[in-house]
Amino acid sequence: MPLSPRQTHLLDLIEQPADLRALSRGSLAALADEMRHALLEQVEATGGHLAANLGVVELTLALHRVFDTPHDRLVWDVGHQTYLHKMLTGRRGWMSRLRQHGGPAGFTRRVESEYDPFGAGHSSTSISAALGMALAAERKGEDRQAIAIIGDGAMTAGQAFEALNHAGDRQANLLVILNDNEMSISANVGALNQHLTRLRSNPLIERFRHSGEEMLAQAGPLGELLGSTRAGLRDGMRHLLGASSLFEELGFRYFGPIDGHDLDTLLDTLSNLREQRGPRLLHVVTQKGRGLAPAERDPVGFHGVARNGVSRAMAPSADKPATPAGPPTWTEVAATRLEHHAAKDERVVAITPAMIEGSGLKGFADRFPERLYDVGIAEQHAVTLAGGLATEGMRPVVAIYSTFLQRAWDQVIHDIALQNLPVTFLVDRAGLVGPDGPTHAGSFDLALATSVPNLAIAAPADARDLDAAIDWALAHDGPCLVRYPRDKCPAELGGHALAEGITAPTLLRRSAAKAPRRVLVIGVGAMVERLIPICETLDATLVNLRWARPLAIEPLAELAAEHDAVVTVEEGARIGGVGSELLLALAERGVSRPGLRLGIEDRFIEHGSREECLADTGLDSGSIAASIAAFIGNLCMNR
């Protein structure tokens, strides 16, 4: 069922937030409806984050209406809920290329607009950044507001509370808006979520509010005079009941909770807070997926939507096309193997930082709910928690995206590797991820991990390798990192082992070329599959490395000695990556050969399709083939 086009007369008038401020207040509800429908049309055309954006339509409108942006700084946490913010700040015409190569990012970017004062992508950074802006304004004597908009899911991270603590101590001129939709990507967990639930649902406060509204409505003009008194009594009752004590103990004045879809309440409350100074926190309750019934029912499923996903969701069940069968993803293969081990060994437990669905752990959660620990957006805690479990004989598995593991490298080194604890890391989304861009790319895990003692590193090339890596990791008495991309997983690429042992590399083809054209290509992880036809065309020897650590250098040195040059190909940072370690190790064993290292270049790769991102850094099939062919050509010329 295609989306019906709708006129957007009011939205068409807005090029910048100043145009929004020129509209009559009475027209804003209609504008919100137009914005919500424009958002649906936008995500239908390009795909993207939907449920979170549907939940902040009224809040986005109210913020740009009340505050003098960009003079006042709006800092959005994560940034995936800023599509409407972008529409209102001069980028609506550009949104047709959202998250595509050359188009606007799916998150805030300073290089895109002066209305994006701070870039985002990872969670829980907004309060720190906005506090920095507030303190800078104080130092420079500038009169401006700094506003951080942060979700309740992001508030589970320690950094958010570090910033709240500092802001309260400094009594900084900072407004924090807590967008409480009871969700991060997966459902929220923890004591903070329970505290916010009490704030939303305290029956005494609700009864007082409703009965007070009824009495004031019947009192006529006197009711208006008593309104401010009633608000004061309500806030006093909330304080007595301990509802706002968490934030007030941190030095913030707490306001709310208020309905985040009630425009009048939002506008009035924000206008009042604009005139105040010091640390303030406004608790706004919103509904993720608001305005689209399927998204309201399943906000997790509508967190990210593919192109044409809105119309498919709205179609009657009988009209929905069947999902074509295909090879499983790396995530699915890893999750299946993890469940296999959990069924046999009760010591196996899984840990995830608020990514049950994304990391493929829904099946594990259903089968072994008591052995799944969803810690919220708390990557540092997740890793050290795993360490504690390991000291007591458990076999913890941390399922985490590569980009989010970056937030916990001190814990990986200090708490896990230094103590040589048996913790397995299933590192998903390793390499380039496409439309989510540089904030979510897994570019650095290999370069970071190869320098850490005791840490084994598996880079499987197919499902057989992945299963074997997980088997080995869960039997190993030390830490192990198993990395794999966001992609389909080939079943088995073949080849035979170059040595004994599960961590030995495999030889996929041997070159029949003569000197000086004998080239050994060593592929790392998912790059191996695309190297097979390239090496056949160029008649190069191809090895699937399989394990970056422990590095089986002896059989590789023997093979390299039979060749004139060595090429390494990895979907990770070229500087400091596996290729650098391999060529150095070969040279140390007296096998010094001309080398070519292909990997992610020393820059951040912008968003686009996965293939566009790979091409941008020379890792698509055509670029790899051209680079190796040119390398062989140079060998022949220099002979």
Instruction: Mean pLDDT check: name the lowest of 64-68, 289-293, 368-372.
Output: 289-293
Identify whether residues 354 and 260 lie together within a single domain: no
317-331 pLDDT tens trace? 655 556 667 899 999
Around 74, how many Cα atoms within 13 Å sit in the side-chain half-sphere?
27
- Given this model, what pLDDT does residue 310 score? 85
- Given this model, what pLDDT does residue 58 score? 98
pLDDT at 550 over 70: yes
Identify whether residues 613 and 555 lie together within a single domain: yes
The rounded mean pLDDT for the chain is 89
Predicted model pTM = 0.87
Which among 289, 305, 321 is the end of a domain?
305
Q: Is 360 helix (H, G, I), strand (E, B) or coil?
A: coil
CATH of the domain at 589: 3.40.50.920
CATH of the domain at 165: 3.40.50.970
Identify whether residues 363 and 265 lie together within a single domain: no
123 among the known binding-site residues?
yes
Residues designated catalytic: 288, 379, 407
Q: Once rounded to an integer, what is the mean pLDDT over residues 110-133?
A: 94
pLDDT at 271 over 80: yes
- Specify if 314 maps to a domain: no
Q: Is 457 helix (H, G, I), strand (E, B) or coil?
A: strand
- Give the closest residue to 396 by CA, choosing from 406, 377, 409, 382: 382
501 among the known binding-site residues?
no
Identify whether residues 478 and 526 lie together within a single domain: no
Identify whether residues 475 and 528 lie together within a single domain: no
Per-residue confidence band for 217, with pLDDT thresholds at 50, 70 and 90: low
- Specify if 366 maps to a domain: yes
The alpha carbon of 162 is separated from its chain's Cα centroid by a whole number of angstroms, namely 21
Per-residue confidence band for 216, with pLDDT thresholds at 50, 70 and 90: very low
374-429 pLDDT tens trace? 999 999 999 999 999 999 999 999 999 999 999 999 999 999 999 999 999 999 99
- Specify if 250 maps to a domain: no
Q: Is 6 helix (H, G, I), strand (E, B) or coil?
A: coil
Identify whether residues 290 and 335 lie together within a single domain: no
- Specify if 606 maps to a domain: yes
Identify whether residues 17 and 126 lie together within a single domain: yes
Identify whether residues 515 and 629 lie together within a single domain: yes
Domain that holds residue 63: 11-207+255-305
- Given this model, what pLDDT does residue 4 score? 73
Which residue pairs, CB below 8 angstroms and at least 24 apart, start in 196-202? 196/152, 196/283, 198/243, 199/238, 199/243, 199/244, 199/256, 199/257, 199/283, 200/257, 200/285, 202/238, 202/241, 202/243
Residue with tokens 């091409």: 615
% residues pLDDT > 70 (the chain):
88
- Given this model, what pLDDT does residue 559 score? 96
User: How many domains would you assign to the chain?
Assistant: 3
122 among the known binding-site residues?
yes
% residues pLDDT > 90 (the chain):
75
181 among the known binding-site residues?
yes
244 among the known binding-site residues?
no
529 among the known binding-site residues?
no
260 among the known binding-site residues?
no
152 among the known binding-site residues?
yes
- Given this model, what pLDDT does residue 142 score? 97
419-470 pLDDT tens trace? 999 999 999 999 999 899 899 999 999 999 999 999 999 999 999 999 999 9
563 among the known binding-site residues?
no
DSSP string, 372-404: EEE--S-HHHHHHHHHHHHHTT-EEEEEEEHHH
Per-residue confidence band for 184, with pLDDT thresholds at 50, 70 and 90: very low
Identify whether residues 560 and 597 lie together within a single domain: yes
pLDDT at 187 over 70: no
Identify whether residues 393 and 458 lie together within a single domain: yes
- Specify if 315 maps to a domain: no
- Given this model, what pLDDT does residue 16 score? 96
- Given this model, what pLDDT does residue 152 score? 86
Q: Once rounded to an integer, what is the mean pLDDT over residues 265-275?
A: 96
- Specify if 246 maps to a domain: no
- Specify if 476 maps to a domain: yes
Q: Once rounded to an integer, what is the mean pLDDT over residues 157-180?
A: 95
Among 39-48, 218-227, 522-531, the range of highest mean pLDDT: 522-531
Identify whether residues 411 and 278 lie together within a single domain: no
Identify whether residues 473 and 509 lie together within a single domain: no
- Specify if 128 maps to a domain: yes
Per-residue confidence band for 201, with pLDDT thresholds at 50, 70 and 90: very low
